[in-house]
Structure 1
Amino acid sequence: MKRIYLLVVIFITSFQSHAAKKECAELLKKYHNVQSQQRQGHSLKSSISLRKKEDKAREKWWDCENNKLKPKSKKKKNNKTKSPSKKKTIKLSQNPTKPSNDAPSVFSSNRNIVIKGKYTGDKQLQWLTFYKRPKKCARPKTTQVFAFCMEDKTAQQNKFEQQYKN
């Protein structure tokens, strides 16, 4: 009788340890998955997020290996509608000459930006005096207004070209 009881106890403990090792293997797989994501190219924001994920995954895996993992609790589903998530805002540095460490870089290089217009020299000056932008084109609110502004500018350019040739 004692032998049967002993065999049952050994069987139950070995089954639990086998199930625990299987769960730990899944946690280790998640940990390695996060590490492989970190090796890929990503932005500063995702780098910080992946670092947090890696720390959490490593901690869970290590706790599982040392039998310190808390049992999973079943969460009750709540049928209430979710509130809209708050948008995260990026704080920019108050001093524009000194870049902030937490603000992402807008450009990947420090090269100068060159914007070329359609006209140069004297023709450019004459175009600037000729072109009259409508008030609603200063900040178009809809795509229809934007399209109107582009067509108006093209029409004025065509008119300017004809007058400039003469």
Structure 2
Amino acid sequence: MASGSEESFGLGVRHKLVTLAEPNARWQQAYTQEEAAIRKALGDLPLDIQHFGSTSIPAIRAKRIIDIAVGVRRFDDGFLCIEPMEQIGYEYAGNDIVPNDHIFGRGIKGETRTHLVHIIEYGGAHWTRFIRFRDKLRANTPLARAYESLKIRLAEEYADDRAAYTEAKRAFIDEIVARSD
């Protein structure tokens, strides 16, 4: 493991399942520790590292997984990150799950996920989408609550199918990202 005990931060969701937890103030600390470990491992490859996803939105329920965006100059720089990320406990899931996104996971292999890292082009479509959505929810509490309500409903409907849960949120996220406000 790259940093402190995942259990102390209340992290971990069983493979492919969707369970939401009450907000935990320690999730930000978990991210901060992980960011430091990633920066140390990757050196000057990242242009920026950001906490995104529901654990980065104060006061809403979230899957107990820390989502991290690592912005690199070019998508192909993500290949240079595989070995250093593996050295700090991440498993490379590949870049064919989501186009232009190198995905790394950490947890108990095949059982529980605690962290997901997306190594993507800084300023590219994925980067913009992740950060814009996070920032809009952080700035608008009613919008964050609407998203939380959607997540709760979808978590009940897709409790054992994380991929379907994620896909079912897409239209809401697309609408928010597209707004000019």
TM-score normalised by the chain length of structure 1:
0.25
Higher-Rg structure is 1
- Structure with the larger helix share: 1
Higher relative contact order (CA 8 A, sep 6+): 2
TM-score normalised by the chain length of structure 2:
0.23
